[in-house]
Amino acid sequence: MDSKNLDNNSIFATYMAKNTTNNTNHFSFIDLFCGIGGFHQALTSIGGRCVFACDINEQCRTVYSQNFCPNGEFPVEKDINVSIDENTIPPFDFLCAGFPCQTFSKAGNRNGFTVIQRSDGSTDERGRLFFRIIEILENHPECKFLLLENVRNLADNKKNWAIICAELKKLDFIISEDPIIESPHHFGVPQIRERVYILGIRKNHFDNRRNLPLGYLTRDVLHLDQYLQPRSNKDSCLPTVMDSNVDSRYLVPEDINKLLSTWEELRENTTGLSRPFWLQYAGIGIKNRSLYLSNPNIAYNSMPEWKQRLVLRMRVFYENNMKYIDSWVEEHKMMDKILLHQKFEWNAGDCYSMKDCIIQIRQSGVRVKRPNFFPSLVAMNNTPIVWDSSANHYRYFTPHECAKLQSFTDGYKFSEIDSVTYRQLGNSVNVRILSILAKELVKLGKKL
């Protein structure tokens, strides 16, 4: 299956049609830290039936319930701690959880399993929630399978990884002791989003006819290579994901549209564009190199060496294109813009135009990248921008298009508030990867 040929309405539809089992409801599962249901879609696609879900976020619970249990078919609870303490979790076969990643993420404080004492006197115990999963497994010996997901940085910390492996092995789980790190772009979905997946099966449920050469679960045991669909770095993914006739509310504001066109103008009329190029460090209007280096506003001499090398490249680019850049800065009043809009980073190689690329406006400035893969969707407001030729205007990627990058099934009902949906999809899991992992994991067990 080539993702280039998938219908734009559902990048996941063909996979789901081929891989959904006819033997429905042959195992039960609980969906912990469920978000808006990435795990749920994956496990029901291979015949699972949810009997319990929980998430601390009310907006997530609302979206989850309207899609999967509009009539209260199973409980969707708020606090996993309460559910454990009150023993309200029913029997189940399969535990899945995208447990909180903030204390493991590179974007977080990396405190791991440590309880964090906040300045206001409260505590952040999200890093300890893994041990509540362990408590659930201790109290539910009937659980046969587990599938956990987290940021790849979790596996980079050997101490944390060793703790996870040791705790699960104490409970007689055969697990993926070597981190299984996968990204949607390995499987035909054009999003780079590396995550670590922890799989486990109880020893007493493992089908001994299966072979475990290393004594634990590996990529080879799970036959993951048969699902690989690597995309060419040369192909644009935009035609496979972009919708047509997109609502005008997704067009970027006129000032952003003008900003992007302005940077495109600079790129087209200069040579040797520095990456990145920040006007604040170029020394606009300073003609002499020595005056530039001694300028207190630049503070070149107090910079670390790596930054000196970076800003000197910016300066050389400016000097080589000084006449045009000075005129461009004056015409577009670039020095009056907010600092964020004075920064530009071209990561699109030999792409002909920004209109062919994927754009993000980040703290590092306007970033333009090749259209072969989308960067990882994130929970913060950092929605990708693309050129819409039918509207002759740049626009934001829509929630529906972002949902394709997470392999959500078409027709999924999201929040009516787009900002909420973007955040929820940024926090979600990729359904295609989870479906593959869960399917191969269940195959290793005795017949239910």
Give the domain 3-233+425-443 fold. Answer: Rossmann fold (3.40.50)
- Predicted confidence band at 119 (pLDDT cuts at 50, 70, 90)? low
18-30: average pLDDT: 63
C-alpha 200/C-alpha 101 separation (Å) is: 19
CA 53 distance to own-chain centroid:
22
Question: pLDDT per residue over 401-427, tens digit each?
Answer: 999 999 999 899 999 999 999 999 999
* Average pLDDT over the chain, rounded to an integer: 88
- The sign of the torsion formed by the CA atoms of 399, 404, 406, 412 equals positive
Q: What is the pLDDT of residues 2-14, one digit of tens each?
A: 443 344 334 334 4
Instruction: Measure the CA–CA gap between 131 and 167, rounded to whole angstroms.
Output: 8
Catalytically active residues are: 101
- Reply yes or no on whether the pLDDT at 121 is more than 80: no
How far apart (Å, rounded) are the C-alpha atoms in residues 184 and 407? 9
Q: Given this model, what pLDDT does residue 15 score?
A: 38
Q: Which pLDDT tens digit goes with each residue over 275-329?
A: 899 999 999 999 999 999 999 999 999 999 999 999 999 999 999 999 999 999 9
Smallest CA-to-CA distance from 407 within 8, 12, 3, 7 is with 12
**In this predicted structure, what is the pLDDT of residue 415?**
95
Please choose, from the candidates 138, 136, 133, the residue with its C-alpha nearest in 3D space to the C-alpha of residue 150. Answer: 133
Residues 231/188, Cβ–Cβ less than 8 Å: yes
CB-CB neighbours of 138 under 10 Å = 12
- pLDDT of residue 391 exceeding 80: yes
pLDDT band at 153 (very low <50, low <70, confident <90, very high): confident
pLDDT tens-digit readout, 37-65: 999 999 999 999 999 999 999 999 999 99
pLDDT score recorded for residue 255: 96
Q: What's the one-letter identity of residue 64?
A: Y
Please state the domain extents for the chain.
3-233+425-443, 244-397
